[in-house]
Structure 1
């Protein structure tokens, strides 16, 4: 019987790269030949060739860097089931979401990101979601408050029926009812319809609030927003939800943060917001791992944290990881990507 502790949590798979290596070496040889040719006849052509030589030298330098990245490509295949079999204690994770402007980054997008994080497959009592609102917007806070009510229905629904795409706007935008493996289940039909109605109601509430000059009554929990300026206000920290009972399948902690801002004081944009999130989370939950996403992202794999832990927790590996980066996939892009929004050259050419 094999020792469970010897089970690998991930595997490094070498990718075949023979043909690409030959092509890259030929291109590098041609670039070096061009540089030598420029140098040999530089005195005959003067300034024009000198400028060309400098530009081509810089291009060659960049090409060498790209070859260095692409020379030995590998894939990491993770084994979440082995993580369970080895009975490794899963660590806590603090999840950070940053937003800065309720107009450029509509709250409905932010709450979908938050909902997808709250519903990931990981012990809920070991998760905490921190939302940084650099716009200090009562609309954003109001939207999160309403989204939290929906999350108490959405999270159990996702985990009960093993929903994969857990951002509601994306889940309901497709024909998710007929494509689901539970489509023949009458109970699932009923709950699916209920979830869709609840989400549409949530969207209507946020849209109505966005159209008003005052999205909410500045009383009670909204009192701190009554006399604030976007770029001049004290710190606002609100624990919106706390999983006090430590329920594994409950809703994770949810914390709203709007850091202090003053006129003529540098705030360092998202980097400054991340520093504040790190300090506050260190005092409140102090998780050893952090998951950072933008407000316009969502989790398209409910086991994303478990896959990351396969890399970060494998004590049998010769390598030690401190950082795991998942590929970014874009949705609803234009056909053939005429404006290069999908970063095809970066992800499929330069880094492969």
Structure 2
């Protein structure tokens, strides 16, 4: 869900940003986790925009406090504490859903495609109406699986994701993230598009690969 939240919080026009999650495991807890992430994003995205937060995966942000020196002031400190408290509640709600049997609730080996646009309305007046409208599209996708057809290949899931996104949003640029990654810089999509929009190289350019930073690497 941190990967999803960091993608939703990218510095890009919300009406042109569409975030898809391909759940090839078909786990109910993943879908429910996305619904919780959508609710938390209504707080997290305005906080990141208001203070220009660079690391927009909340788990990574709250684990490293060097960014805080750039702000200061009682208002920021209070907002940060409030959003951290909401993040802890969010994590607790996701964990609770994972411990009540949801992890065993899968679609099975034989199931049709599942596509859900994540939406949820809130009655909390503390969330400003104009900020809740600035939310990107969030979509859950689990491809069709039949025992009679091979389906244990990542490319198949990506192909389905491309077909679904082509119908829903038809975006010309796609940023791919694994489930254990996050966007370390909210301007990453814009940086990649600088290459794609460069008239000198764009006709022959299909892919931009970002440098990756790994943490908690084992000795092996």
TM-score, normalized by length of structure 2? 0.88
Aligned-residue CA RMSD in angstroms? 2.3
Aligned to 1:79: none
1:254–1:189 distance in 2 versus 1, CA, 3 Å: same
CA distance in 1, matches of 2:208, 2:155: 19
Write the deviation string for residues 158-205 of structure 1: whole angstroms up to 9, x where unpaired.
11101111000110112357x4311x2211111100110011001111
1:125–1:229 distance in 2 versus 1, CA, 3 Å: closer
Q: Say whether the 8 Å CA contact 1:137–1:230 is kept in structure 2.
A: no
Q: Say whether the 8 Å CA contact 1:131–1:256 is kept in structure 2.
A: yes
Shift of 1:118: 0.3
Describe the SS at the equivalent of 1:290: coil
1:138–1:165 distance in 2 versus 1, CA, 3 Å: same
1:135–1:194 distance in 2 versus 1, CA, 3 Å: same
Q: Say whether the 8 Å CA contact 2:14–2:136 is kept in structure 1.
A: yes
Describe the SS at the equivalent of 2:177: strand
Aligned to 2:163: 279
Structure with bigger RCO (C-alpha 8 Å, 6+ apart): 2
Matched, 1:311 2:195: yes
Q: Say whether the 8 Å CA contact 2:3–2:57 is kept in structure 1.
A: yes
Task: Name which one, 1 or 2, has greater alpha-carbon Rg.
Answer: 1
CA distance in 2, matches of 1:308, 1:229: 36
CA distance in 2, matches of 1:319, 1:237: 33
Aligned to 2:25: 135
Aligned to 2:126: none
TM-score, normalized by length of structure 1? 0.56
1:255–1:319 distance in 2 versus 1, CA, 3 Å: closer
Write the deviation string for residues 257-309 of structure 1: whole angstroms up to 9, x where unpaired.
11111113111421110000001111111011111111110000110011011
Aligned to 1:107: none
1:318–1:165 distance in 2 versus 1, CA, 3 Å: closer
